[in-house]
Amino acid sequence: MWKSRILLAVVAVGIGTGLYFLPKSVVENESQLKSETDQNAPGDPHSDIPMALAEAIAALRPLAQPVLNEKSATFADSLSRLYAQAGKYDSSAWYAGEAATFFKSLESCRQAAARYYEAYSFAVDPERQKVLAAEAQRFLNQVLEQRPDDLDAQGQLAMTLLATAPPMQGIRKLQEIIQKDPQNEFALFNLGMLSVQTSQYERAQDYLARLLEIKPDNSQARMLLGVAYLNGGDKDKAKAEFEEVKKRDPDPAVQAAADSYLKDLR
């Protein structure tokens, strides 16, 4: 999932759309939850959820609403996982949030934060991004209250600030993570991606090259580095990176993305 999302994001960056979050089938907000789940009920000819998964969701829904006790909260957590499997990330996040609101444990808050961050990262509409980002922040802050040194939570919080605050707030937080952990993959990659989006190609090259020193097989970072070289005017280095991606990663989606750039460079 992450690989295909970033590869598509790289293409988007290359054509100047400025999008780095791409759409996935999700509900727009919590008020749409019931209509969405009704549409995905077993037997619905328009449902895009496999029948067995849709049946499991339909069976759990009455048991997970409302979340009043440990049993219903446990069902909500299970329902969140099923919706994640179905690619319905807003619904997955909502149920994870309901479970976390009841349990209030570090793990449940971490799970809700991860689900809301996932939904946020697939959203395209700016207003939807803000809503999902704010919910992700709510649970990320709860995680950080218990684990203030959790760099994963700090990184996700930084990225959600891009939708709810001046972008430099999020960027500064990513830079702070690099100061604490110079080899932090999440921060290096996202700083590289954001630098490409803002046409700061030399800075992007620095971040991504540093990441590849740590993880030379990170095809997303290598592809993005190729884009940074290409947009920075160094076609030879860009070509070398795209060719290296093809050598290292046999995934058909990766191969196709690299080929599309190499074709333009011939």
pLDDT digits (tens, 9 = 90+) for 201-256: 999 999 999 999 999 999 999 999 999 999 999 999 999 999 999 999 999 989 99
**34 pLDDT tier (thresholds 50, 70, 90):** very low
Using a pLDDT cut of 70, give the percent of the chain over it: 82
Both tokens of 30, joined, read: 């919590």
Residues 115, 57: contact at Cβ < 8 Å? no
What is the pTM (predicted TM-score) of this model? 0.82
Sequence letter at residue 237: K
In this model, does residue 157 exceed pLDDT 90?
yes
- Does 229 lie in the same domain as 127? no
Number of domains in the chain: 2
User: How far, in Å, CA of 157 to CA of 151, rounded?
Assistant: 10
Domain boundary residue, one of 117, 141, 169 = 169
In this model, does residue 40 exceed pLDDT 80?
no
- Does 97 lie in the same domain as 34? yes
- The pLDDT score that the predictor gives to residue 37 is 37
- Does 136 lie in the same domain as 258? no
Both tokens of 228, joined, read: 């940074």
Our measurement of the distance from residue 119's CA atom to the centroid of its chain's CA atoms, rounded to an integer in Å, reads 7
In a domain, residue 195? The reply is yes
Which domain covers residue 60, as residue numbers? 22-169
**Would you mind telling me the total number of residues written for the chain in this entry?**
266
In this model, does residue 45 exceed pLDDT 50?
no
Q: Which residues contact 190 (CB under 8 A, 6 or more apart)?
A: 155, 158, 159, 174
Q: What is the mean pLDDT of the chain?
A: 85
Q: What is the mean pLDDT of residues 26-31?
A: 38
136-152 CB burial, b ≥16 within 10 A, e <16 = bbbbbebbbeeeeebeb
- Does 191 lie in the same domain as 121? no
Longest dimension (CA), the chain: 63
- Does 203 lie in the same domain as 89? no
Domain boundary residue, one of 169, 201, 226 = 169
Both tokens of 31, joined, read: 């008020």
**73-105 confidence digits (pLDDT tens):** 999 999 999 999 999 999 999 999 999 999 999
**47 pLDDT tier (thresholds 50, 70, 90):** low
Report the CATH number at residue 221. Answer: 1.25.40.10
- The pLDDT score that the predictor gives to residue 143 is 98
In this model, does residue 149 exceed pLDDT 90?
yes
Domain boundary residue, one of 108, 143, 169 = 169
